[in-house]
Protein backbone atom coordinates (compact mmCIF):
# COMPACT_ATOMS: atom_id res chain seq x y z
CA UNK A 1 0.00 0.00 0.00
CA UNK A 2 1.04 3.63 -0.49
CA UNK A 3 -0.30 6.75 1.19
CA UNK A 4 -1.32 9.44 -1.29
CA UNK A 5 -3.52 12.52 -1.34
CA UNK A 6 -5.69 13.31 -4.35
CA UNK A 7 -3.09 15.49 -6.07
CA UNK A 8 -0.54 12.67 -5.76
CA UNK A 9 -3.08 10.22 -7.17
CA UNK A 10 -3.90 12.46 -10.14
CA UNK A 11 -0.21 12.96 -10.83
CA UNK A 12 0.55 9.25 -10.59
CA UNK A 13 -2.36 8.34 -12.87
CA UNK A 14 -1.17 10.72 -15.60
CA UNK A 15 2.42 9.47 -15.29
CA UNK A 16 1.30 5.86 -15.59
CA UNK A 17 -0.99 6.50 -18.57
CA UNK A 18 1.70 8.45 -20.43
CA UNK A 19 4.13 5.58 -19.85
CA UNK A 20 1.54 3.03 -20.99
CA UNK A 21 0.44 4.83 -24.17
CA UNK A 22 2.63 7.23 -26.16
CA UNK A 23 -0.48 8.79 -27.70
CA UNK A 24 -1.32 10.39 -24.35
CA UNK A 25 -0.01 13.93 -23.93
CA UNK A 26 -0.72 16.83 -21.57
CA UNK A 27 -1.31 20.39 -22.73
CA UNK A 28 -2.56 23.51 -20.91
CA UNK A 29 -1.32 26.58 -19.07
CA UNK A 30 1.71 25.94 -16.83
CA UNK A 31 1.41 22.13 -16.95
CA UNK A 32 4.91 21.64 -18.35
CA UNK A 33 8.05 23.03 -16.78
CA UNK A 34 6.13 24.60 -13.86
CA UNK A 35 4.34 21.34 -13.08
CA UNK A 36 0.84 22.79 -12.96
CA UNK A 37 -0.68 25.53 -10.84
CA UNK A 38 -1.83 22.84 -8.37
CA UNK A 39 1.30 20.70 -8.91
CA UNK A 40 -0.75 17.91 -10.47
CA UNK A 41 1.53 17.59 -13.51
CA UNK A 42 4.87 17.79 -11.77
CA UNK A 43 7.62 15.64 -13.25
CA UNK A 44 5.99 15.17 -16.64
CA UNK A 45 8.09 17.82 -18.40
CA UNK A 46 11.33 16.36 -17.04
CA UNK A 47 10.36 12.80 -18.01
CA UNK A 48 8.60 13.30 -21.35
CA UNK A 49 9.76 16.67 -22.62
CA UNK A 50 7.97 19.75 -23.91
CA UNK A 51 6.10 17.96 -26.72
CA UNK A 52 4.18 15.61 -24.42
CA UNK A 53 3.96 18.04 -21.47
CA UNK A 54 3.26 21.25 -23.31
CA UNK A 55 2.76 24.74 -21.86
CA UNK A 56 0.41 27.07 -23.70
CA UNK A 57 -0.42 30.77 -23.77
CA UNK A 58 -3.33 31.92 -21.64
CA UNK A 59 -5.96 30.84 -24.15
CA UNK A 60 -8.41 28.17 -23.03
CA UNK A 61 -10.15 28.41 -26.39
CA UNK A 62 -6.86 27.82 -28.21
CA UNK A 63 -5.51 24.80 -26.37
CA UNK A 64 -8.93 23.17 -25.97
CA UNK A 65 -9.50 23.52 -29.70
CA UNK A 66 -6.09 21.97 -30.30
CA UNK A 67 -7.14 19.01 -28.13
CA UNK A 68 -10.24 18.49 -30.26
CA UNK A 69 -8.12 18.37 -33.42
CA UNK A 70 -5.51 16.13 -31.81
CA UNK A 71 -8.18 13.67 -30.66
CA UNK A 72 -9.68 13.60 -34.16
CA UNK A 73 -6.20 12.71 -35.45
CA UNK A 74 -5.89 9.75 -33.07
CA UNK A 75 -4.07 11.19 -30.06
CA UNK A 76 -5.29 11.20 -26.44
CA UNK A 77 -4.95 14.71 -25.04
CA UNK A 78 -5.24 15.45 -21.32
CA UNK A 79 -5.85 19.12 -20.64
CA UNK A 80 -6.44 21.20 -17.53
CA UNK A 81 -8.64 24.16 -16.71
CA UNK A 82 -6.96 25.49 -13.59
CA UNK A 83 -10.25 26.92 -12.25
CA UNK A 84 -13.39 25.39 -13.68
CA UNK A 85 -14.92 28.86 -13.92
CA UNK A 86 -12.54 29.56 -16.83
CA UNK A 87 -14.18 26.80 -18.86
CA UNK A 88 -16.57 29.46 -20.12
CA UNK A 89 -13.76 30.59 -22.45
CA UNK A 90 -13.82 27.30 -24.39
CA UNK A 91 -17.47 26.26 -24.43
CA UNK A 92 -17.74 26.37 -28.22
CA UNK A 93 -14.79 24.01 -28.62
CA UNK A 94 -16.28 21.63 -26.06
CA UNK A 95 -20.05 21.81 -26.50
CA UNK A 96 -20.29 22.44 -30.24
CA UNK A 97 -17.25 20.47 -31.40
CA UNK A 98 -15.95 17.81 -28.98
CA UNK A 99 -19.34 16.57 -27.80
CA UNK A 100 -20.79 16.26 -31.30
CA UNK A 101 -17.95 15.27 -33.63
CA UNK A 102 -18.48 11.51 -33.34
CA UNK A 103 -22.16 11.71 -34.29
CA UNK A 104 -21.63 14.36 -36.98
CA UNK A 105 -18.88 12.27 -38.58
CA UNK A 106 -21.12 9.21 -38.75
CA UNK A 107 -19.02 7.61 -35.98
CA UNK A 108 -15.88 7.81 -38.13
CA UNK A 109 -14.19 9.88 -35.42
CA UNK A 110 -13.61 9.29 -31.74
CA UNK A 111 -12.83 12.08 -29.30
CA UNK A 112 -10.69 10.64 -26.46
CA UNK A 113 -10.22 13.95 -24.61
CA UNK A 114 -9.80 14.16 -20.85
CA UNK A 115 -10.40 17.64 -19.48
CA UNK A 116 -9.41 18.05 -15.84
CA UNK A 117 -11.06 20.97 -14.07
CA UNK A 118 -10.46 22.08 -10.49
CA UNK A 119 -13.60 23.37 -8.76
CA UNK A 120 -15.14 23.96 -5.35
CA UNK A 121 -16.34 26.56 -2.87
CA UNK A 122 -15.44 27.56 0.65
CA UNK A 123 -11.91 28.83 -0.04
CA UNK A 124 -12.75 32.57 -0.09
CA UNK A 125 -12.11 32.97 -3.82
CA UNK A 126 -15.38 34.69 -4.64
CA UNK A 127 -17.82 34.47 -7.53
CA UNK A 128 -15.46 33.78 -10.46
CA UNK A 129 -13.43 30.98 -8.82
CA UNK A 130 -15.98 28.99 -6.82
CA UNK A 131 -18.56 27.47 -9.13
CA UNK A 132 -19.74 23.88 -9.54
CA UNK A 133 -20.66 23.70 -13.23
CA UNK A 134 -21.15 19.98 -13.76
CA UNK A 135 -24.79 20.50 -14.70
CA UNK A 136 -23.80 22.27 -17.93
CA UNK A 137 -21.99 19.18 -19.19
CA UNK A 138 -24.54 16.71 -17.88
CA UNK A 139 -27.10 18.60 -19.96
CA UNK A 140 -25.02 18.24 -23.14
CA UNK A 141 -25.13 14.84 -24.87
CA UNK A 142 -21.69 13.48 -25.67
CA UNK A 143 -19.77 14.03 -22.41
CA UNK A 144 -18.92 11.77 -19.52
CA UNK A 145 -18.80 13.70 -16.22
CA UNK A 146 -16.62 12.32 -13.42
CA UNK A 147 -16.21 13.69 -9.88
CA UNK A 148 -14.03 11.73 -7.40
CA UNK A 149 -14.29 12.29 -3.67
CA UNK A 150 -10.95 10.78 -2.60
CA UNK A 151 -7.50 9.80 -3.86
CA UNK A 152 -8.40 6.16 -4.49
CA UNK A 153 -11.27 7.09 -6.78
CA UNK A 154 -9.28 9.87 -8.43
CA UNK A 155 -6.58 7.41 -9.46
CA UNK A 156 -8.87 4.70 -10.79
CA UNK A 157 -11.38 7.00 -12.46
CA UNK A 158 -8.78 9.22 -14.14
CA UNK A 159 -7.06 6.22 -15.70
CA UNK A 160 -10.42 5.02 -17.02
CA UNK A 161 -11.20 8.50 -18.37
CA UNK A 162 -7.91 8.74 -20.25
CA UNK A 163 -8.54 5.34 -21.83
CA UNK A 164 -12.13 6.20 -22.76
CA UNK A 165 -12.94 7.16 -26.35
CA UNK A 166 -15.41 9.95 -25.53
CA UNK A 167 -14.78 13.43 -24.07
CA UNK A 168 -14.54 13.20 -20.28
CA UNK A 169 -14.96 16.15 -17.91
CA UNK A 170 -12.96 15.19 -14.83
CA UNK A 171 -13.73 17.52 -11.90
CA UNK A 172 -11.42 17.71 -8.87
CA UNK A 173 -12.53 19.52 -5.73
CA UNK A 174 -9.60 21.55 -4.42
CA UNK A 175 -10.82 21.18 -0.84
CA UNK A 176 -10.23 17.42 -1.12
CA UNK A 177 -6.77 17.64 -2.68
CA UNK A 178 -4.80 16.99 0.51
CA UNK A 179 -6.81 14.27 2.25
CA UNK A 180 -4.41 11.31 2.52
CA UNK A 181 -5.55 7.68 2.18
CA UNK A 182 -3.91 4.37 1.37
CA UNK A 183 -3.89 3.10 -2.21
CA UNK A 184 -2.74 -0.30 -3.48
CA UNK A 185 0.66 -0.50 -5.10
CA UNK A 186 -0.65 -2.51 -8.03
CA UNK A 187 -2.42 -0.84 -10.94
CA UNK A 188 -6.21 -0.60 -10.89
CA UNK A 189 -9.01 1.20 -12.69
CA UNK A 190 -12.58 2.04 -11.66
CA UNK A 191 -15.29 1.61 -14.31
CA UNK A 192 -17.11 4.76 -15.33
CA UNK A 193 -20.80 4.70 -14.46
CA UNK A 194 -20.50 2.61 -11.28
CA UNK A 195 -21.47 4.25 -7.99
CA UNK A 196 -19.91 3.36 -4.63
CA UNK A 197 -22.27 2.37 -1.82
CA UNK A 198 -20.06 3.66 0.98
CA UNK A 199 -22.42 2.70 3.79
CA UNK A 200 -25.51 0.50 3.81
CA UNK A 201 -28.70 1.43 5.66
CA UNK A 202 -32.45 0.93 5.81
CA UNK A 203 -34.03 4.25 6.84
CA UNK A 204 -32.76 6.82 4.35
CA UNK A 205 -30.75 7.03 1.13
CA UNK A 206 -28.29 9.90 0.70
CA UNK A 207 -26.83 10.34 -2.79
CA UNK A 208 -23.88 12.67 -3.18
CA UNK A 209 -20.48 13.16 -4.81
CA UNK A 210 -17.31 15.24 -4.50
CA UNK A 211 -17.24 17.50 -1.45
CA UNK A 212 -20.72 16.32 -0.54
CA UNK A 213 -19.25 13.00 0.63
CA UNK A 214 -17.34 14.26 3.72
CA UNK A 215 -20.14 16.73 4.50
CA UNK A 216 -22.67 13.88 4.55
CA UNK A 217 -20.36 11.59 6.50
CA UNK A 218 -20.07 14.24 9.21
CA UNK A 219 -23.86 14.68 9.26
CA UNK A 220 -24.45 10.94 9.60
CA UNK A 221 -22.21 10.89 12.69
CA UNK A 222 -24.55 13.44 14.27
CA UNK A 223 -27.50 11.04 13.88
CA UNK A 224 -26.17 7.71 15.16
CA UNK A 225 -29.64 6.20 15.56
CA UNK A 226 -30.50 6.62 11.88
CA UNK A 227 -29.70 3.79 9.48
CA UNK A 228 -28.42 5.70 6.45
CA UNK A 229 -27.35 4.32 3.09
CA UNK A 230 -24.67 6.63 1.62
CA UNK A 231 -24.01 6.50 -2.12
CA UNK A 232 -21.07 8.28 -3.76
CA UNK A 233 -21.97 8.57 -7.44
CA UNK A 234 -18.34 8.93 -8.62
CA UNK A 235 -19.60 9.54 -12.16
CA UNK A 236 -22.62 11.70 -12.93
CA UNK A 237 -22.74 10.74 -16.59
CA UNK A 238 -23.14 7.84 -17.02
CA UNK A 239 -25.37 7.77 -13.94
CA UNK A 240 -25.64 4.57 -11.91
CA UNK A 241 -29.39 4.96 -11.54
CA UNK A 242 -29.82 1.28 -10.75
CA UNK A 243 -27.86 1.75 -7.50
CA UNK A 244 -30.01 4.74 -6.56
CA UNK A 245 -33.32 3.04 -7.34
CA UNK A 246 -32.38 -0.16 -5.54
CA UNK A 247 -31.49 1.85 -2.46
CA UNK A 248 -34.68 3.92 -2.53
CA UNK A 249 -36.69 0.71 -2.92
CA UNK A 250 -35.16 -0.42 0.36
CA UNK A 251 -35.27 2.83 2.37
CA UNK A 252 -38.25 4.73 0.94
CA UNK A 253 -36.55 8.08 1.51
CA UNK A 254 -34.09 10.03 -0.65
CA UNK A 255 -31.83 13.03 -0.09
CA UNK A 256 -29.41 14.32 -2.74
CA UNK A 257 -26.55 16.59 -1.60
CA UNK A 258 -24.16 18.54 -3.82
CA UNK A 259 -22.37 21.89 -3.95
CA UNK A 260 -24.16 23.04 -7.08
CA UNK A 261 -27.39 24.96 -6.54
CA UNK A 262 -30.47 22.68 -6.34
CA UNK A 263 -32.45 24.22 -9.19
CA UNK A 264 -31.95 22.63 -12.66
CA UNK A 265 -29.28 20.38 -11.14
CA UNK A 266 -28.00 16.82 -10.93
CA UNK A 267 -30.18 16.43 -7.85
CA UNK A 268 -33.22 17.68 -9.74
CA UNK A 269 -32.62 15.11 -12.48
CA UNK A 270 -32.27 12.27 -9.98
CA UNK A 271 -35.55 13.29 -8.33
CA UNK A 272 -37.26 13.35 -11.74
CA UNK A 273 -36.14 9.85 -12.57
CA UNK A 274 -36.96 8.43 -9.14
CA UNK A 275 -40.46 9.92 -9.28
CA UNK A 276 -40.99 8.58 -12.81
CA UNK A 277 -39.56 5.11 -12.26
CA UNK A 278 -39.85 4.50 -8.51
CA UNK A 279 -42.68 6.65 -7.19
CA UNK A 280 -44.33 3.73 -5.40
CA UNK A 281 -41.14 3.12 -3.40
CA UNK A 282 -41.21 6.57 -1.78
CA UNK A 283 -42.50 7.10 1.76
CA UNK A 284 -41.61 10.82 1.77
CA UNK A 285 -40.91 13.52 -0.77
CA UNK A 286 -37.34 13.37 -2.17
CA UNK A 287 -35.20 16.39 -1.25
CA UNK A 288 -32.23 18.15 -2.84
CA UNK A 289 -29.79 20.13 -0.67
CA UNK A 290 -27.20 22.36 -2.35
CA UNK A 291 -25.49 25.71 -2.11
CA UNK A 292 -27.79 28.72 -2.12
CA UNK A 293 -28.62 30.07 -5.56
CA UNK A 294 -26.40 33.14 -5.65
CA UNK A 295 -23.05 34.29 -6.93
CA UNK A 296 -20.47 33.25 -4.34
CA UNK A 297 -19.67 36.09 -1.89
CA UNK A 298 -16.07 36.88 -0.99
CA UNK A 299 -16.72 37.76 2.67
CA UNK A 300 -16.16 34.66 4.78
CA UNK A 301 -19.31 34.91 6.86
CA UNK A 302 -21.44 35.37 3.76
CA UNK A 303 -19.79 32.49 1.90
CA UNK A 304 -20.33 30.20 4.89
CA UNK A 305 -24.02 31.08 4.82
CA UNK A 306 -24.23 29.94 1.18
CA UNK A 307 -22.48 26.57 1.48
CA UNK A 308 -23.79 23.11 2.22
CA UNK A 309 -22.84 21.96 5.71
CA UNK A 310 -23.41 18.97 8.01
CA UNK A 311 -26.02 20.82 10.04
CA UNK A 312 -28.06 21.48 6.91
CA UNK A 313 -27.85 17.80 5.95
CA UNK A 314 -29.00 16.81 9.45
CA UNK A 315 -32.00 19.13 9.14
CA UNK A 316 -33.04 17.49 5.85
CA UNK A 317 -32.50 14.01 7.32
CA UNK A 318 -34.71 14.80 10.30
CA UNK A 319 -37.44 16.11 8.03
CA UNK A 320 -37.41 12.96 5.91
CA UNK A 321 -37.32 10.63 8.92
CA UNK A 322 -39.82 12.42 11.15
CA UNK A 323 -41.72 14.85 8.95
CA UNK A 324 -40.61 17.71 11.22
CA UNK A 325 -38.06 20.39 10.32
Q: How far is CA 282 from CA 257, 285, 288, in A?
A: 18, 7, 15
187 belongs to the catalytic site: no
Backbone angles phi, psi at 277, to 5 degrees: -110, -10
284 touches 320 (CB < 8 A)? yes
Assign 3-state DSSP to the chain and report helix, strand, coil percentages, each to 5: 40, 20, 40
CB 312 within 8 A of CB 286: no
The 3-state DSSP class for residue 199 equals: strand
Catalytic annotation, pick one of 17, 129, 172, 259: 129
Do the Cβ atoms of 135 and 199 come closer than 8 Å? Answer: no
Please say if 319 is a catalytic residue: no
Q: Say if strands 228-232 and 204-208 run parallel, antiparallel, or are unpaired.
A: parallel
* Closest of 9, 276, 258, 226 to residue 138, by C-alpha: 258
Of the listed 60, 172, 269, 303, which one is catalytic? 60
**Catalytic site positions:** 60, 129
Amino acid sequence: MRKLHMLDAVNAAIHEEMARDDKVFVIAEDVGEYGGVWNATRGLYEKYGAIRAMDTPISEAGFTGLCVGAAMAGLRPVTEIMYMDFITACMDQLVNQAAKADLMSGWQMQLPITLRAQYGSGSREAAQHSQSLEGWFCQTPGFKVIIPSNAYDAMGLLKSAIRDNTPCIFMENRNLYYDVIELPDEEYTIPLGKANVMQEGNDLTIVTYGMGVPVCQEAIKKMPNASVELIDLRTIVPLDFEAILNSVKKTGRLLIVHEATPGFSVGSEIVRRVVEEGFDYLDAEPLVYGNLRTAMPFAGNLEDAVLINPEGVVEKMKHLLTGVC
